[in-house]
């Protein structure tokens, strides 16, 4: 092979690789732009302070089965706080979670802790999950006020009240049980949630 032909082949290969790389980067950037993601430090949600130890709890779900955060060590967990008769924020959060799970197509545990123990019954919790099409994807955790208050306190949650709304957050817990990412309801999107879950998987 002549030196000129060899040089031409090298240039052709280099140009092809550059074009492929450029297309991949553009596709990735376009995908992010389409999803409307604004990443900070590589995350769509807000990072939690480092060093927060795992905050475990033990409650019962809508079917009376015991539930704990520790039972899910080794896998990320979506943790949120809802009440069963909510008609706005909680359903919106539930639908964002459902869409993110469908996007990921992964079996990720979802735990929703009650913030209205006086009104959240098993029957109402089951109806909420059915209405949100999350019966097999989310567990609605219930308890008395005395049982729930330590959980609210551990995660900085204000429960639902007559004159004020509860804290509306979706938290991502890593496989070691530590809080990693927080999405306030006003910033929650299914695309952002799916993006950050992929990083934790």
DSSP string, 134-156: -TTT-EEEB--HHHHHHHHHHTT
- pLDDT tens readout for residues 81-132: 999 999 999 999 999 999 999 999 889 999 999 999 999 999 999 999 999 9
Phi, psi at residue 82, to the nearest 5°? -145, 170
Residue 4 has pLDDT above 90, yes or no: no
Q: What is the mean pLDDT of residues 6-35?
A: 41
CB 143 within 8 A of CB 59: yes
Domain range annotation of the chain: 1-35, 46-200
- Of the candidates 168, 174, 178, 176, the residue with the CA atom closest to the CA atom of residue 196: 174
Residues 6+ positions from 131 with CB-CB distance below 8 Å: 91
Instruction: Name the more confident of 41 and 33.
Output: 41
- DSSP code of residue 118: T
CA distances from 80 to 20, 121, 133, 190 (A): 41, 17, 16, 14
Q: What is the pLDDT of residue 93?
A: 97
Domain 46-200, CATH among 3.30.160.20, 3.40.190.80, 3.40.30.10, 2.40.37.10: 3.40.30.10
């Amino acid at each position: 092979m002549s030196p000129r032909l060899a040089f031409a082949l090298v240039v052709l290969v280099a140009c092809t690789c550059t074009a492929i790389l450029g297309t991949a980067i553009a596709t990735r950037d376009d995908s992010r732009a389409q999803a409307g993601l604004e990443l900070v430090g590589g995350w769509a949600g807000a990072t939690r302070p480092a060093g927060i130890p795992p905050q475990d709890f033990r409650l019962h779900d809508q079917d009376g089965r015991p539930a704990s955060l520790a039972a899910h060590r080794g896998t990320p967990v979506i943790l949120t706080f809802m009440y069963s008769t909510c008609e706005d924020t909680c359903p919106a959060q539930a639908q964002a979670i459902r869409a993110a799970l469908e996007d990921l197509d992964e079996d990720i545990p979802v735990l929703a802790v009650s913030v209205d123990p006086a009104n959240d019954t098993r029957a109402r919790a089951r109806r909420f999950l059915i209405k949100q099409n999350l019966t097999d994807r989310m567990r609605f955790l219930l308890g008395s006020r005395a049982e729930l208050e330590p959980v609210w306190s551990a995660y900085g949650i204000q429960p639902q009240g007559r004159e004020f709304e509860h804290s509306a957050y979706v938290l991502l817990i890593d496989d070691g049980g530590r809080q990693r990412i927080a999405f306030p309801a006003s910033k929650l999107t299914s695309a952002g949630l799916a993006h950050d879950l992929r990083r934790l998987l």
